[in-house]
Amino acid sequence: MQDDTPLKPIAFTLDGKAFEVVVHPNTPLLSILREDAGRLGVRPGCLLGRCGSCMVLVDGRPMQSCSTPAWSIEGRHIATIEGAPPGSWMERVRQVFLEEQAAQCGYCVNGIMTTVASCLDRPEPPDREQIIKQLDHNHLCRCGAHVRMLRAIDRLIAEARQKAAA
């Protein structure tokens, strides 16, 4: 069965800049980000919204881009791992994960870093269990870099608490 729904312009903010694309309204955000915007750090995994490789921030909240239709992002703010502004938690998480060598194959790590950054970018710093709960719920990683990821997360939590106390 062919879908005869016409293409539609979809306008949103991508990594702080206005972006518009003309697509079928049900086109997954993942496809738009990779094919139209060149954001290859947003990775396809399961394509069912279960593995977290395609995680982005939509209005500051983590969302699986493979299961987010284009019509739902009209006028919203999308942030990807590539578009981390200087001084942001996203940038800091990337830096600490690199320093701790917290990725093995690296396929899922961009989505994991995106979720960790969203957890840290709140008025009250999270604890380790809160972040682990978010990761357990939204991500699948099989490469065994978990110990290094947790070491990076512990460093980031300490920084968030120090920043909140200042």
Q: For the segment 118-154, what is each residue's pLDDT rounded down to a tens digit?
A: 999 988 989 999 998 888 887 777 776 788 899 999 9
In the chain, which residues fall in CATH 1.10.150.120? 89-165
Judged against a pLDDT cut of 60, whether residue 90 lies above it is answered with: yes
**Taking the CA atoms of the chain, what radius of gyration do you get in angstroms?**
16
In the chain, which residues fall in CATH 3.10.20.30? 8-83
Q: What is the phi/psi pair of residue 53, to 5°?
A: -65, -25
pTM of the model: 0.89
Residues with Cβ within 8 Å of 166's Cβ and at least 6 positions away in sequence, in order, are: none
What are the respective helix, strand and coil percentages of the chain, to the nearest 5? Answer: 45, 15, 40
Highest mean pLDDT among 13-17, 80-84, 104-108, 139-143: 13-17
Judged against a pLDDT cut of 80, whether residue 106 lies above it is answered with: no
Q: For the segment 18-75, what is each residue's pLDDT rounded down to a tens digit?
A: 999 999 999 999 999 999 999 999 999 888 888 888 999 999 999 999 999 999 999 9
pLDDT at 59: 96
Structure tokens of 139?
A: 């991500």
Q: How confident is the model at residue 96 (pLDDT cuts 50, 70, 90)?
A: very high
Cα separation, 126 vs 130, in Å, equals 6
Class at the top of the CATH hierarchy for domain 8-83: alpha beta
Judged against a pLDDT cut of 60, whether residue 2 lies above it is answered with: no
Structure tokens of 36?
A: 């139209």
Of 1-15, 95-109, 131-145, 151-165, the poorest mean pLDDT is in 131-145
CATH architecture of 89-165: Orthogonal Bundle (1.10)
